Amino acid sequence: MEDGPSVIQQGFLCPFCMTDLGSYIALANHVESAHPEDADTPAFEQIRGFIDKAKRSFKRFEPGIDIENLREKVGNIATSASAGNILQSESLQRSVEPLRKTRSKSREREVKPTKVKPIEIIHVRPEIGVKRSHTDYFLRCREASVNDIAVRTNTLIIRMDKLINEAPQEHSKRKDFERFVVPWSEDSESSACPGCNQKFSLTRRRHHCRLCGKVLCEKCSRFLSFLTARKLTNPALAAAMTEEKQNASTQKAEVRSLDKLADLAQRTGGHLRGLIGGSKSNDGSEDAAEHLRVCVPCLTLLERREQQMEARNPPAMVSLYERLVGLLSEMSKLTPSYSRMALSINNGEAIYTLQAAEELRRRIAERQREVDVLSKTIENEGGEGLPFREQQLRKNIRFVSVQTLHNFISNMPNLPSSEKYAELAEEHRNKVAKQVEEARLQAQRAVSNIKIPSVPIVETKPSSSFMGRVVEDGWTPDFSPITNPFAEEEDRQHPLQEQRGILRGYLSQAAAVGRLEEVEILERNLRDLEAEMRQLGLNFD
């Protein structure tokens, strides 16, 4: 900024609209009439905050200099520059005093909602009704029944362990051993198969489940391979097998029925048998030896246990989806941050650099592309072979992603070219200067109620519910002051200028990671600081 305007900026500035009112009385009148508002609003707090901050910044960066001295000095310069105007922080503070008593409107009120959708007027905020949880009761009930099942399954597994590992080699002795481990129920006890309710006869012979000892018919018998049985009794083996299976099989092994697994293991050859450790020899009649006859209820219990043991490998889609959601929630932070920057730049303000905005835009665009690619992959990954619902699920994920993208993109204003930006910045500077000049003229004409439009702060509402998933965490900017230790004393920046540089650095960092709250605070601080600098007659470009 040129020297001229910055000198004009000094004087009795209205803390709300930055208008120079020329004299204390004019300012007090102006504040009372133009900003009639509750003094306890954030705006008032802001002003207090910024004065305090300015003081602190003085103290922090120039501990050697007496602040009051400096002010007086600067004040004197100001006095000579613009006749009759005494610039002092005290004057500002005094101008704030009446605010305590008057009711005035915050800056936000001046921001005209450009096009706000009519919101339904809710007089009483609707609250959720009565809820009642039965979860505890449910879990108590479940525990009892689940324990029962666990005990039953464990009994089966202990029996199974004995049957396959301690059974005698000779075929003839095996039956006796099996009956010794699991007492078989008497044939006379049941005249019909409990599975199919058919009467036993000469053609429908009685068999026994080797695990629970109950009677059943041939048709209702299931056969459990020793391999599966070992897997259930020996978790280490199970892990090895799962690994083996993954290595060996190239085909999609979606259905993990017990039989298939056994099948597969046989195909993978002798390697597995080696793992088993030869505890069981091959005695020709493999079919008879390598299977246990079991009933359906027992098999169900065992299958469930097997499923629990198998580490569930989530399909690739799940990790893709997680990544997609991560990207979307990141974008829901970055996009409003970008809109803010772009708006400020399109107004010609110098709070952000065009470069930083362009950089952020590039980053967002990158993520947009990635979201597009990811969601497309999710949609098309499985192809036509997938079951109907799975396809529908993927289509819907794609649909939501595309919709969210559309929403984000339509909320992103364009950036000016660098030439255009220079023009805009010039325009903005002139406008501010003109406003200040006008204000001064008007103040001189003792017209006290002037208002200049302040830059609207447009709140961009996060449009996506992914916003809800953002976990609040701390954020700190990297501190990397650019100082030249070899600079001559007179080349050194004024502490306020230095502070301004640091603030701007923080601001662009905060904007780049989408910390909207911090951006707001920093923007406010920067404005305050610049206002203070104007008063001190420091140029900051």
Partner 1 sequence: MNILATARLYIGEMVTQAGPQMKVLLMDKETTGIVSCAFAQSEMMHKEVYLFERIDNAAPRENIKHLKCIVFVRPTAENIQLLCRELRSPKYAQYYIFFSNIANKSDIKLLAEADEEETVREVHEFFIDAVPLSKHLLSIGLHHPYDASLRLSTTAFLHAKQTIISLLLAFKKAPTVCYQKSNGDCEKLADEVTQVMRREEALFRTCKEDTLLLVIDRSEDCATPLLNQWTYEAMVHELLGLQNNRVTLDGQSLVLSELQDEFYEKNVNANFGEIGQSIKQLMEQFQSKAQIHKNVESIADMKSFVEEYPQFKKMSGTVSKHVSIVGELSRLVAANNLLEVSELEQSIVVDGDHTTCLDRVRNHLVNKQTTVLNATRLVLLYALRFEQHQNNDIDGVVALLRSKEPAAASLVRVLLRFGGASRRKNDLFGSQSAVEMTKRFIKGLKGVENVYTQHTPYLTQIIESIARGRFNENVYPKHTASQYSARVDNIIVFVIGGATYAELAQVRAANERRNQAGGPSVLLATTHMLNAQSFIDQLREMGGTTR
Whole-number Å distance between alpha carbons of 291 and 258: 12
407 makes contact with partner 1 (CB under 8 A)? yes
Whole-number Å distance between alpha carbons of 523 and 504: 9
390 makes contact with partner 1 (CB under 8 A)? yes
252 makes contact with partner 1 (CB under 8 A)? no
DSSP SS3 for 64: coil
137 makes contact with partner 1 (CB under 8 A)? yes
For partner 1, the binding residue among 257, 279, 392, 444 (CB under 8 A) is 392
Residue ranges in 317-376 that form contacts with partner 1 under rule CB under 8 A? 317-318, 321, 325
238 makes contact with partner 1 (CB under 8 A)? no
Binding-site string for partner 1 from residue 279 to residue 318, where x marks contact by CB under 8 A and - marks none: -------------------------x-------x-xx-xx
Report yes or no: 194 and 215 within 8 Å, Cβ to Cβ: yes
Question: Closest CB to partner 1 among 405 and 522?
Answer: 405
CB of 463 to partner 1, least distance (A): 9
- The tokens describing 410, both together, are 């339509």
Report yes or no: 370 and 330 within 8 Å, Cβ to Cβ: no
Question: Closest CB to partner 1 among 393 and 455?
Answer: 393
127 makes contact with partner 1 (CB under 8 A)? yes
Whole-number Å distance between alpha carbons of 331 and 414: 17
Whole-number Å distance between alpha carbons of 225 and 160: 11
- The continuous run of DSSP H or E covering 442 comes out as helix 418-444
DSSP state of 467: G
Q: Which residues contact 187 (CB under 8 A, 6 or more apart)?
A: 206, 215
Binding-site string for partner 1 from residue 456 to residue 475, where x marks contact by CB under 8 A and - marks none: --------xx---x------
Q: How many CB atoms lie within 10 A of CB 23?
A: 19
- The tokens describing 124, both together, are 């009483």
149 makes contact with partner 1 (CB under 8 A)? yes
138 makes contact with partner 1 (CB under 8 A)? yes
* Stretch of residues binding partner 1 (CB under 8 A), selected from 70-78, 135-143, 240-248, 284-292: 135-143
- The continuous run of DSSP H or E covering 128 comes out as none
Report yes or no: 344 and 352 within 8 Å, Cβ to Cβ: yes
Question: Closest CB to partner 1 among 100 and 115?
Answer: 115
* Stretch of residues binding partner 1 (CB under 8 A), selected from 25-33, 404-412, 429-437, 503-511: 404-412
Report yes or no: 37 and 102 within 8 Å, Cβ to Cβ: yes
Question: Closest CB to partner 1 among 6 and 153?
Answer: 153
Question: Closest CB to partner 1 among 222 and 527?
Answer: 222
Report yes or no: 57 and 496 within 8 Å, Cβ to Cβ: yes
* Stretch of residues binding partner 1 (CB under 8 A), selected from 21-29, 35-43, 118-126, 503-511: 118-126
CB of 141 to partner 1, least distance (A): 3
Whole-number Å distance between alpha carbons of 541 and 260: 75
Interacting residue ranges for partner 1, rule: CB under 8 A: 117-118, 121-123, 126-135, 137-142, 145-146, 149, 304, 312, 314-315, 317-318, 321, 325, 387-390, 392-393, 396-397, 399-400, 403-404, 406-407, 410, 414, 464-465, 469
